[in-house]
Structure 1
Amino acid sequence: MTRVFAIAESTLKMILGVGKSAMPNEMIGLLRAEDGVINDVVFAPGTVTSEVSSMVRIDQLPVGLKTVGSVHSHPSGNPTPSGADREMFSKKGKCHIITANPFEMNDWVAYNKKSEPIELDVVELSSKKDKLWEEELERIRKEL
């Protein structure tokens, strides 16, 4: 598995926007990366969320989908992993992100599979995928 060291700025903005739009419920997704940079999030059909928890339906994902970890939101504003978060982190992926209310650019923390905070650089990419994320973020903003 490739070492993850960064997240694309447009992907981070999209994640924060989805977290804000999901309020008061949590949101959850799986992270994908290319060349060590998180640049995609997969939201699985059948995902269950509430104000205090979220559960992704792994059985609804395409066969062979490669992910590097997870992302979910804490509407409470506290990005500290819960016991359930720590258990999930230990089982799948190397990088996990928790976003927190009010979902601004500094309202997130990345963790390794041991639930220890890790540093991720935020990098600007200029790809077609980034343009699509920017368009989706703008759509989400208009709905709020």
Structure 2
Amino acid sequence: MDVRQAKESRNLVLDYALGASLLGLIPITSLLSLKFLVTIILIIKMCWDIGRKWKFARGQDILAIIGYCFGWLGAFAMAFMAWLTLLGIGLFIPYISSFKLASALFTLTWMVGQSTNQYYASGHGKSKKRKSGHEV
């Protein structure tokens, strides 16, 4: 695996996750649907950009594909848990619950990005060997 490429992808994921969390910090509650829509667009764009960084590497086995799907499910579960945790803490510490949406959007975007990064990285080494003439 190319270490520089992996670091660039992680930094890209961090940038998108911070952008998504900034959407959650907008204090206008009537924009919730718009926040979710923009976050979905950001996540799709992030996945596309990560794929481009890895040159849309192919060759993932069935376990990598299943792991990628579970990564997405886990991302939604962890985002919900982050939201729920800050909601619970907000019952005892004032103003903390105002960060619950930002926390959930950051967690969702970060985990989806890391899952996508690992998916493409797992196929990158195989496609590189195939191009150099070594069979996998």
TM-score exceeds 0.5: no
TM-score (norm: length of structure 2):
0.25
Larger helix share, 1 or 2: 2
Larger strand share, 1 or 2: 1
TM-score (norm: length of structure 1):
0.24
